[in-house]
Amino acid sequence: MRRFLWVFLLFLLVGFCYAQDKFDFSGYLKNETSFRIEGLNNDLTKFKNIIELSGQYKIKDDELVFFAKTKYWYDAMYDFRDEYDSGQHYQGHIQRADWLRDCYLDYIKGPWFLRLGKQQVAWGQSDGIAVLDRVNPFDLTEYWLQDFVDLRIPLWMANINYSPKLNSNLQILIIPDFEQSTAAYPYAPFVFYSTQRFENWRKGQGGVDLNIHYPGKQLENSTFGLQWSDRIGDLDYTLNYLNGFYYSVRNYTIYVSGPPQGGPTSFWKVDRSFKRWKMYGASMNKTFTNPGPLQGITLRGDFAYYDDEPMYWGDPIIASSSGIKRLDNIFWLLGVDKYVFTNWLVSFQYAEYILQNSKPGATTARRNYFFNPYTYGPQDPLEHIFSIKISTDFLHERLKPEILWSFTDDNQGRLSPKVTYELKDNIWLTLGIHYFYGSEFDSNGQFRDQSQAYMNVKYTF
């Protein structure tokens, strides 16, 4: 109820401001429908209806501006399909405070730019692979299929920027807010293999004592970020630092035995906690603009050193974590883009995710493998990740086809062709397919039975 009061107040504000020509407003209504195309179950997997409203009010020209964006959605698929009933409570409609996507005040004066409030901050140069883009947690209830603007979970923060000279910027982030990254709940179409497996195990036990330990609400538990951006010649670069709580919770499971002479029975105790970590990174981009064989090519790169990244380890045969280990990992990515044949944009990315103990002997005869947190399958000590995206347009940019193929060296990946058509200025239609393949223990392969065809209809105003 409280959220709608907020929206009501917002609209009152809109009415007041509109008359003064200081208000700008837009939004959309959208339906997203998808069908499973794998196996015999070619049935409905999403019927999501979304409304989003955005508005800005210029309190003092461009110097002081208030901006807010709200969003609500309802996925009726959970009403239509009995087998998904269990997930409806969490997956059928928007959760908690997620309805407020942005709510901040901008102050721009000379070299200063302050953005205070709920917002998202994107770091890095990569497309679809979060190397440096770790300031906000992610909503993975539909895996990585949503646009990144919808994937990131906004946080309340102070985003302070100072530009000491042209083309440079120092950004300081102070984030007292905390939200965890969310994954699909058990029985939802894109539930992670590890989540569903844990749920199955939990239901099979007599009793499981599950405790989640969130970071305390003290200032020292805030996340702090720092980014320096500058330009050397025609190369843009950033230096990044992030220090805060890892947004994905980590389980620690122990078996508590009851006393042999009666008393409380034995039970499993699962503690879920968030660990602090640090990220040091850098990014760059450069377009070769001068005549020569490389002219027209854009190079992009991200590099991140994850200090104390909390990871699982254990025996992948039984797919059960034996504990949490803190590793210092490296994740880097290089991307190349170029227009070919007039208006065909080809974009290629290669990334390596290198675990600290990737050297021989890291895994032992006792099968102490590191786990892929999505699946509890064994994680390669050195993961090679590739993506290729080709996009173009026809009919005066009315028809926009695109194909994305992302894959790793483990013969698993995702192929996502789509086409967007502008019916009118305010009505857009998208048709596409997400085809997953690979082993059920791999990130994409776990959804090999969830390949889908989808259609989105968007009405904007």
Q: Give contact residues for another protein (rule: CB under 8 A).
A: 26-28, 54, 56, 65, 67, 102, 106, 108, 113, 115, 120, 122, 125, 127, 133, 147-149, 152, 161, 163, 166-167, 169, 229, 234, 236, 285-291, 295-298, 300, 337-339, 342-343, 345, 393, 396-398, 422, 424-426, 428, 458, 460-461
Task: Compute CA distances 113 → 104, 159, 163, 171, whole Å.
Answer: 13, 8, 8, 9
The answer to whether the beta carbons of residues 186 and 180 sit under 8 Å apart is no
Closest C-alpha to 376, from 318, 448, 331: 318
**C-alpha to C-alpha distance for 322 and 200, rounded to whole angstroms:** 18
In Å, how far from its chain's centre is CA 376? 19
**Between 228 and 252, whose beta carbon lies closer to another protein?**
228
Shortest separation between residue 231's beta carbon and another protein, angstroms: 8
| Minimum distance of another protein from residue 404's CB (angstroms) | 14
Q: Quick count: other Cβ atoms within 10 Å of Cβ 123?
A: 25
User: Hey, is 34 helix, strand or coil?
Assistant: strand
Token pair recorded at residue 51: 């409304």
CB of 452 to another protein, least distance (A): 20
Q: Which is nearer to another protein, 44 or 116 (CB)?
A: 116
Q: How far apart (Å, rounded) are the C-alpha atoms in residues 239 and 304? A: 10
If the CB atoms of residues 26 and 265 are measured against another protein, the closer one turns out to be: 26
Closer CB to another protein, 127 or 271, in the complex: 127
Query: Which residue's CB is nearer to another protein, number 2 or number 424?
Result: 424
State the minimum distance, in angstroms, from the CB of residue 136 to another protein.
Answer: 10
The string of DSSP letters for 123-185 reads -SS-SS--SS--SS-BEEEEEE-S-HHHHBPPEEEEEEEE-SSTT-EEEEEEE------EEPP
Q: Closest Cα to residue 7, out of 79, 90, 97, 77? A: 97
Nearest to 87 by CA among 186, 173, 163, 1: 186
Residue with structure tokens 């293999």? 193
Q: Which of 87, 305, 273 is nearest to 180 (CA)?
A: 273
Min. distance of Cβ 117 from another protein in angstroms?
11
Nearer to another protein by Cβ, of 20 and 290: the residue is 290
Burial call 279-294: b when 16+ CB within 10 Å, e when fewer = bebbbbbbbeeeeeee
Comparing CB distances to another protein, the nearer of 18 and 437 is 18
Shortest Cβ distance from residue 146 to another protein (Å)? 10
Distance of closest approach, residue 76 Cβ to another protein, in angstroms: 24
* Residue 122 Cβ vs another protein, minimum distance, rounded to whole Å: 4
Residue 26 or 257: the one with the smaller Cβ distance to another protein is 26
Contact 34, 452 (CB under 8 A): yes
State the number of CA atoms in the 13 A half-sphere of 93 facing the CB: 6
> Nearest distance from residue 57's CB to another protein, in Å?
11
- Pick between residue 49 and residue 285 the one whose CB is nearest to another protein: 285
Q: How many other C-beta atoms lie within 10 A of the C-beta of residue 343?
A: 11
Give least dist CB 392 to another protein, A.
Answer: 10
Residue placing its CB nearer to another protein in the complex, 25 or 201: 25
Within 10 A of 404 (CB to CB), how many other CB atoms are there?
Answer: 19
Instruction: List the alpha helices (DSSP H) in 230-273.
Output: none
Q: Pairing relation of β-strands 320-340 and 298-315?
A: antiparallel
How many whole angstroms separate alpha carbon 30 and alpha carbon 69? Answer: 15
> Could you tell me the smallest distance in angstroms from the CB atom of residue 296 to another protein?
5
Choice between 21 and 82, CB closer to another protein: 21
Give residue for tokens 């085809």.
435
